[in-house]
Amino acid sequence: KDAKLSGGDLHFSQGDGEITFCGAIEMGGYIDMRVDLIKGGMDKYGVTTNPIFMPGNVEPRYSEFLTFIGVSVDHDTDTNYYLDATVAYRRACLNAVEYLKKWGFTGEQAYLLLGSAPIEGRISGVVDIPNACCSLYVPTAIFDFDVRPNADGPKKADRGQCAVTS
């Protein structure tokens, strides 16, 4: 009683922020959960409404990323949304979509890729008032071609398949 135990559903892969709302790759499976009961732990550790947890080790781990930045400015309307991390993260995602389109992905393919690949999203700055800054890290190893910027520019013909979707 009153343990406040939480659990979620399983995804094979999902980008941070689940930007497509339903773009994660769902899967069936079992959760092997270990629980240590700490009487009064919520009060003891100052956690009152949301869980804290330690995820297990998950492979693969990536070490090289392309990073896209977004700030809390809607460039279509030239409006600054004061410290709005949602707008900043959307801008970072849109920057990544535009970049991937240069490599031959359609906008829809790039969007779905970011929703289901193991991208990492971060709030990178909220002290540069009025701008919030978010970063989107895309692991380069999910591609079977070199997606990094180079002096020759992107070559759509060189684009292979994304390892996450093949």
Total domains in the fold of the chain: 1
pTM for this model (two decimals): 0.77
Closest by Cα among 107, 121, 108, 114 to 143: 114
pLDDT score for 92: 95
Distance of CA 38 to CAs 4, 6, 32, 45, 52, Å?
Answer: 11, 15, 19, 10, 13
In angstroms, the first-to-last Cα distance of the chain is: 46
Residues 27-50 have a mean pLDDT of 81
Q: Residue 17 gets which letter from DSSP?
A: T
Q: How far is 159 from 103, CA to CA, in rounded Å?
A: 6
Query: pLDDT tens-digit profile of 85-126?
Result: 999 999 999 999 999 999 999 999 999 899 888 889 999 998
Q: Give the tens place of pLDDT for each residue, 7-36.
A: 777 777 777 777 776 667 777 888 887 777
Q: Quick one: which H or E segment has residue 114?
A: helix 107-116
Range of the domain at 27: 1-166
Give the pLDDT confidence score for residue 165 in this predicted structure.
44
Closest to 140 measured CA to CA, from 62, 61, 59, 23: 62
